[in-house]
């Protein structure tokens, strides 16, 4: 079964310095029909205005992924990490027993556009951790590249959760298929462009929930960038 989640149906908050779309209930946006999907809890599409950002704030017991689409996200945390996250990088922060961090856009004239993703961990109270890796466009061209996983397979970032995250770029005749093991499900979020997911046409910001499906099948891309989450129940 495929359930379509249209971009325009997401929650939306514009704070001036931050323009954010929420795929799942978050902050002031609450929809009991969209509280998460398996361990996937948050996908926020955020645009941070030049010279602004999130001040220091805390998290606990959550796997947090940042996926930058435009600009550069400046990250600083209580573990001592001071990093810039450009497009192509995947950053994973394990909040565990507690961590504080800030995220800023220091550019004077460019918006930072990124996805903030929260996944519930499979173990609480772990030591906080940080990891960041670069995945070049050619690694994702016409295929689904594993970028986060519970065992760090294929050079992916290590995720303390029952989830595998894939990223892909598709255009023209490029296709891909990802098996979904029995008892598991998948969530497909189209970052940009257009793409067919199991025969259903998606546009930028749309998502598809797949349950009791044998595979994720991608085709008909038009400058598409996509994230696919393969998830436990």
- What's the CATH code of the domain at 36? 2.60.120.10
DSSP class per residue in 135-187 = --HHHHBTSEEEEEETT-GGGPEE-SSSEEEEEEEE-TT--EEEE--TT-EEE
Q: Count the domains in the chain.
A: 1
Name the residue range of residue 108's domain.
2-231
Degrees, nearest 5: CA angle 88-92-95: 155
Mean pLDDT of the chain: 96
Residue-wise pLDDT tens digits, 38-81: 999 999 999 999 999 999 999 999 999 999 999 999 999 999 99
Band of pLDDT at residue 225, cut at 50, 70 and 90: very high
Q: Note the pLDDT of residue 190.
A: 98
3-class DSSP state for residue 86? coil
What contacts 24+ positions apart, CB below 8 Å, involve 150-159? 150/122, 156/90, 157/65, 157/90, 157/91, 157/92, 157/131, 157/132, 157/133, 158/92, 158/131, 159/63, 159/65, 159/92, 159/119
Q: Note the pLDDT of residue 71.
A: 97
DSSP for residue 56: E
Q: Note the pLDDT of residue 22.
A: 98
Band of pLDDT at residue 8, cut at 50, 70 and 90: very high
Residue-wise pLDDT tens digits, 178-212: 999 999 999 999 999 999 999 999 999 999 999 99
Q: What percent of the chain has pLDDT over 70?
A: 100
Residue-wise pLDDT tens digits, 88-111: 999 999 999 999 999 999 999 999
Asked whether the predicted pLDDT for residue 233 surpasses 90, the reply is: no
Q: What is the pTM of this model?
A: 0.97
Q: What percent of the chain has pLDDT over 90?
A: 100
């Amino acid at each position: 079964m495929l359930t379509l989640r249209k971009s325009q149906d997401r929650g939306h908050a514009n704070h001036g310095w931050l323009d954010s779309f929420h795929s799942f209930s978050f902050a002031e946006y609450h929809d009991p029909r969209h509280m998460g999907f398996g361990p996937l809890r948050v996908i926020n599409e955020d645009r941070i205005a030049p010279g602004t950002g999130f001040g220091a704030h805390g998290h606990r017991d959550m796997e947090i992924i940042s996926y930058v689409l435009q600009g550069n996200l400046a990250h600083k945390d209580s573990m001592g990490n001071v990093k810039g996250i450009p497009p192509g990088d995947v950053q994973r922060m394990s909040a565990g027993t507690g961590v504080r961090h800030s995220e800023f856009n220091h550019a004077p004239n460019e918006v930072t556009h990124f996805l903030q993703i929260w996944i519930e961990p499979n173990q609480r109270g772990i030591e906080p951790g940080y990891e960041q890796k670069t995945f070049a466009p050619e690694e994702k061209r016409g295929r689904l590249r594993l970028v986060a996983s519970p065992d760090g397979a294929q050079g992916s970032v290590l995720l303390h959760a029952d989830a595998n995250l894939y990223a892909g770029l598709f255009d023209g005749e490029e296709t891909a298929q990802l098996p979904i093991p029995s008892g598991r499900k998948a969530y497909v979020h189209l970052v940009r462009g257009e793409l067919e997911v199991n025969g259903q046409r998606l546009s930028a910001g749309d998502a598809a929930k797949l349950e009791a499906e044998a595979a994720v099948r991608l085709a008909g891309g038009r400058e598409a960038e996509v994230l696919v989450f393969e998830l436990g129940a």
